Amino acid sequence: MQDTDCEFAAQGSDTAVPDEGAPRVTKYRGFIVALAQVKKACAATNAEIGALTPAKAGAISSACDEMAAGGFDSRLAASLADGLLDAVNAAADRVLAARATGLLAETGEAVAVDARGDVNMGQSSLDAVLTAMSLALYDEIGRVLAATAPLERILKRKADEFGTVVKVGRFGLRDGVPTTLGQEFSGYLAGIERNRDSLERERLQWSWGVLGATAAGTGLGCAPGFRAAVYRHLSALCGREIRCADNLFDGLQARDSYIVLHARLLALATAAGRIGKDVRLMSSGPRGGLGEIALPAVQPGSSIMPGKVNPVIADQMMVIAQRIAGNQAGIDMAASSGELDGGSRSGLFCRAMLDSIDLLCRGLGIFTERCVAGITANREHCREMAERPAPLAAAAAEVLGPEAAARIERAARRQGITFREAASRDEALPAGAAADLADAAALAAPEKAAALFAKYR
């Protein structure tokens, strides 16, 4: 089969196989399941209000179950072009109608089920596909939330494990005050938790539909009672309450909700990608770089540099965040491309949204298991760097004031001695101050640091 101008195309027979160059619709399993639920709910609703015979409704319903289970995967294919919102609905209708007709024939009832008149009764491409996307995204967001849970657990464990690992805190890649590796990991954990909480709240917005709107929002094309009943059937199929959009005209016209949702996904991906970037930097070296932590050795890095091991999993998490950022730009453009009542008919925002979710789910799992979980700290090296004059002087400036701290730091550098030794030789300091100011672990602890501030200021 040649690529068409449609995002999804239906094959003409049960045995047809899509062109190998075209990505299959089965890549978006959650969407196909949701679309099958929409079609099944509509069939049940049309039968309830007397617009469709019980026999046809039952056959369509059975066909929908087969579609959700992957029974028609060989008959649906996706191209990379635009047009998903119209083409996928027609493709599904044709496949379901053909199968429902066959099911009726098996019972001895020679009745043809029509794709437009029966399967698509009371619907349009827009309201059916947009409702299916909403249902699918609720479940897909759930996958992302599930993928963050192991990462949060590992980050919490690492924050506790590294709580006593004193190191240099850096600002603009310059030495700053002493901190602990555990404190840094607690920050990573808080960032993932915050974005997960935000995504959980956003998920609650994705249990809506625009069924009953048909092409423009007026409801023209729906039999009386359709809108009142279809959400009841859809809620029963989904196992949660599905509500009708507050304004069906807005529901058909606007795609800004996709921009907002994807931005939440991008924020989470960015937080995880930033962790990847940080641990890559902290593990740099191992002798010519920071060398504060060691990452699991996953893949040999070079045939000409023996012993070199690349931080490929951290790199991958960074690239995933970049890919999702690119999808955000595409969604922004696609969502703004529609005009007037129908809004954007672009398939790009659907495809980009589902691709981003898949990337994020798989990426978070690999990043957690094959990178973060195996991070170890080079404790002695971290402490050695934290106890050098510059970090201790930065901390001492908060306790003694900048002039005294600078005086001690200059003396340590000029004489080639430690900060503790320089402080102990400084006659202007009170007794015991040198030991206090050279205790990097105490300076990294908020309560102890505050006590030192009160003691010497």
Closest CA to 455 of 400, 406, 403, 404: 400
pLDDT confidence of residue 351:
85
Question: What CA–CA distance (Å, rounded) separates 433 from 423?
Answer: 8
Q: Is the pLDDT of residue 262 over 90?
A: yes
Residue 114 inside a domain? The answer is yes
pLDDT tens per residue, range 209-223: 999 998 888 989 899
What's the mean pLDDT in 299-328? Answer: 87
Same domain, 375 and 397: no
What pLDDT score was predicted for residue 353?
92
194 and 329, same domain (yes or no): yes
Query: 11 in helix, strand or coil?
Result: coil
What pLDDT was estimated at residue 113? 97
pLDDT at 422: 87
Please check whether residues 320 and 192 belong to one and the same domain.
Answer: yes
What's the Cα-to-Cα distance from 307 to each of 278, 280, 310, rounded to whole Å? 22, 17, 10
At 443, phi and psi to the nearest 5?
Answer: -70, -25
Work out the angle at residue 408's Cα, subtended by the Cα atoms of residues 406 and 414, and round it to the nearest 5 degrees.
100
Count up the domains in the chain and report the number.
3
Residue 202 and residue 266 in one domain? yes
- Give the whole-angstrom CA distance, residue 15 versus residue 300: 45
174 and 81 in a single domain? The answer is no
54 domain-assigned: yes
Task: Give the per-residue pLDDT at 437.
Answer: 80
What would you measure as the largest C-alpha separation in the chain, in angstroms?
106
- Give the pLDDT confidence score for residue 77 in this predicted structure: 61
Claim to verify: residue 94 and residue 114 sit in the same structural domain: yes
Q: Is the pLDDT of residue 14 over 50?
A: no
Task: Find the DSSP H helices in 209-347.
Answer: 226-238, 248-253, 256-282, 312-335
Could you tell me if 293 and 436 lie in one domain? no
Question: Do 183 and 306 sit in the same domain of this protein?
Answer: yes
pLDDT bracket for residue 434 (50, 70, 90): confident
End-to-end CA distance of the chain: 79
pLDDT of residue 69: 94
Choose one of 380, 396, 420: the last residue of a domain.
380
Domain-ending residue, one of 95, 121, 147: 121
Question: Residue 6 has what pLDDT?
Answer: 32
Q: Which two tokens stand for residue 187?
A: 């920050």
Whether pLDDT at 146 is above 50: yes
Question: Distance between CA 45 and CA 236 in Å, rounded?
Answer: 12
Average predicted confidence (pLDDT) for the chain: 87
Q: What is the pLDDT of residue 25?
A: 64
Domain carrying residue 405: 387-456
**Coil, strand or helix at 166:** strand
Rounded Cα distance, 433 and 399, in Å:
10
Is the residue at 366 inside a domain?
yes
Based on the fold, state whether residues 191 and 55 are members of the same structural domain.
no
**Which residue, 365, 380, 395, sits at the end of a domain?**
380
Bridging pattern class, strands 293-294 and 376-377: antiparallel
Query: Can you give the pLDDT at residue 453?
Result: 78
Q: Say which DSSP state 240 is in.
A: S
Query: E strand or H helix at 167, and its extent?
Result: strand 166-171
Contact 251, 208 (CB under 8 A): yes
Task: Indicate left, alpha or beta for 160 from its phi (over 0: left) and psi (-120 to 50: alpha).
Answer: alpha
Residues 180, 200 contacting (CB under 8 angstroms): no
State the Cα angle at 297 between 171 and 295, rounded to 5°.
25
The region of weakest confidence among 135-139, 312-316, 376-380, 406-410 is 406-410
**Rounded to whole angstroms, how far apart are CA atoms 6 and 81?**
6
8: phi then psi, degrees, rounded to nearest 5: -125, 145
- Assigned token pair, 222: 């729906």
Cα 370 to the center of its chain, rounded Å: 18
Same domain, 57 and 193: no
User: Does the pTM exceed 0.85?
Assistant: yes
Nearest CA to 183 among 449, 436, 364? 449
Give 394's Cβ-side CA count (13 Å radius).
17
Residues 6+ apart with CB under 8 A from 343: 126, 252, 253, 254, 255
Beta-strand ranges (E) seen in 285-408 are 293-294, 376-377
The secondary structure of 414-430 as a DSSP string is: HHT--HHHHHHH-TTSP
Given a contact cutoff of 8 angstroms between Cβ atoms, the answer to whether 395 and 338 are in contact is: no
Percent of the chain at pLDDT > 90 equals 57
Higher pLDDT, 392 or 243: 243
- Does residue 281 surpass a pLDDT of 70? yes
Q: What is the pLDDT of residues 330-344, one digit of tens each?
A: 899 888 887 777 777
Residue 340 sits in a domain whose CATH number is: 1.20.200.10
Give the per-residue SS3 of 114-152: CHHHHHCCCCCHHHHHHHHHHHHHHHHHHHHHHHHHHHH
pLDDT for res 60: 98
CA–CA dist 317, 362 (Å, integer): 10
